[in-house]
Amino acid sequence: MSNEVEFDAIFRALSNPARRAICDELKLRPLTTKQLCAVFERLDRCTVMLHLKVLEQAGLVVPVRKGRERFNYLDAMPIQAIHERWIGPHAAAAASGLLRLKNEVQSAGKQIHA
């Protein structure tokens, strides 16, 4: 799968508020599907499983079977890849612009007081 296709799957998975909430819960600790259903009482088991499937296909959730139980683990690496691709460079550019502005304001302030 190419990076762009992978990014599309990640963004599509995270576009749903219920799936983001599932990721938030799994960020704290791995949970079984049954435990997730208990957390999200408003969703039936089939809906939780469908959301988990989308998250798994996007690489955000890794299921691990332990006996009869399926534990769902959050894999934050795809989110980190998005950060490195888009957020990090934009944040660095914004910080650089703010530093330039600060220096210009300080320089103008010194000229006024001189």
Residue 92: pLDDT band (50, 70, 90) is low
CATH of domain 3-75: 1.10.10.10
Query: Can you tell me the distance from the alpha carbon of 93 to that of 47, in angstroms, rounded to the nearest whole number?
Result: 41
Residue-wise pLDDT tens digits, 3-41: 878 889 999 999 999 999 999 999 999 999 999 999 999
Query: Which of the two residues, 33 and 2, has the higher pLDDT score?
Result: 33
Say if CB 2 and CB 10 are below 8 A apart.
Answer: no
